[in-house]
Amino acid sequence: MSNTDVRGNPSGCNASAAQAAAEQALWRMMSFYDAPLADLDAAIAEAPGWALPHVMKAGFLLGLTEPVLLPAAAGHLNDARARAADAPPRERAHLEAVQLLLEGRWHQACRVWDELLLEHPRDALALQWAQLWDFHRGDAASLRLRPARALPEWDEADPLYPHVLALHAFGLEECNLYPQAEEAGRRALALQPRAPWAVHAVAHGMEMQGRIEEGSSWLRQHQAAWSEGNGLGTHLWWHKSLFRLEALDTAGVLRLVDAHLSGPALQLTLHRVDAAAMLWRLHLLGHDMSAHGAALWAGWNPTEEHAGHCAFNDVHAVMAQLVAGDLHGAEAWLARCAERALGAEDARRANHGAAREVGLPLMRGLLAWARGNPDQAVDLIYPVRSVAQQFGGSQAQRDLIDQTLLAAAAQGSHRAVGRALLNERCLAKPLTPLTRHWQEKLAAPRVARA
């Protein structure tokens, strides 16, 4: 057997059982059906000298954005380096890129994958990882263009082709190309119904267009494929609750929160971020979510050392604490984030720049709002809108910035900001109950907060 994988990419392994296990792990990473670690352990057992499975374990752990996993990821990279002397350049490039991720140099890692994909456009691992870190970096253009450069080189019969097509669909959606995104997502699902990233991409497009009932129906139609045994399930429940919130069906949102965005359902920071985002939106609407917020934060329970690792996560950690009513805890978290972002640590870390430009002013604005100073909140948060993509997430996730601005504008003197945001919103999609709610709040006389 030649040393290539099933797509003809150079491989450091000629053991078919090991390659099959690694391919299964790759499918899991792209489809989100269970974690890939057991498959990678099987690949290592079959080919102890192969570096790539160790790199894949490290990359998977780093993608979870959990600070507690950094030592384990570093250990896997050490294991990979010990086996990389005879690895092909493609696999050494993956090792280099994941090492850059460990160092916080996300932009450089994506450049390594860019160069790799020029030579090997059917390297699904590079496509998957680059899209994940484009997402964390807020690089919408690369989310769309990198899969577009590779897709014509793929065969539709390849089992991973629908998942690559789903990557392209999400990139199209984040670039506001909603019809094209929906077409690509539906085509991916026609080829493979078990492609939750495609379900996700279409749901995003429907949300951005205000197609809230259609979006709820879309998720319900595909629910059997994503709701059980899939790592994207919690996030898609968040999307379902987002549709219900846009319809101002708060009772429906609360049912979804209690069933799918609280308690044992929240196993990772990625899940807790979704829960915090939904609680914050309900909090802005005037609902008392303090008990939910306290339970979320108690289950999250990060140490102070975790603050400053990921600006996107840090903002949501502050939201959870503010919903719970813990202003002191939120202030301490912000102070630690500022210490890391403004201190003498390695300035090359992508997160430090995102924290300085977006995370810190946004958290300060959230605290101003929580302290009863809506005008200061607008002054701090409104300038962040133009650079908010730098701290990652999707357009739908970053909409919490506008939701906060609308609440602050309605409570303070910056009504012009609120009206401008509503004008923008109404031209982008049909008037929804949530938008009408903010219109009414902004039209009402100002009432001082107690």
Which residues lie closer than 8 Å to 335 by C-beta, 6 or more apart? Answer: none
Residue 349: predicted pLDDT = 83
Q: What interhelical angle do 233-246 and 433-443 show, nearest 10?
A: 50
Q: What Rg, from alpha-carbon coordinates, does the chain have?
A: 22
CATH classification number, 1-138, choose in 1.25.40, 1.10.10, 1.10.405, 2.60.120: 1.25.40
Q: What is the pLDDT along the chain (450 residues), one digit of tens a residue?
A: 359 999 999 999 999 999 999 999 999 999 999 999 999 999 999 999 999 999 999 999 999 999 999 999 999 999 999 999 999 999 999 999 999 999 999 999 999 999 999 999 999 999 999 999 999 999 999 999 999 999 999 999 999 999 999 999 999 999 999 999 999 999 999 999 999 999 999 999 999 999 999 999 999 999 999 998 999 999 999 999 999 999 999 999 999 999 999 999 999 999 999 999 999 999 999 999 999 999 999 999 888 888 999 999 999 999 999 999 999 999 999 999 999 888 756 656 888 899 999 999 999 999 999 999 999 999 999 999 999 999 999 999 999 999 999 999 999 999 999 999 999 999 999 999 999 999 999 998 765 554
Q: What interhelical angle do 196-208 and 395-411 show, nearest 10?
A: 30
155: Cα separation from own chain's centroid: 28
Question: Model pTM greater than 0.85?
Answer: yes
Phi, psi of 138 (to 5 degrees): 70, 30
212: Cα separation from own chain's centroid: 21
Nearest by Cα to 391 from 437, 345, 341, 346? 341
Nearest by Cα to 353 from 299, 286, 308? 308
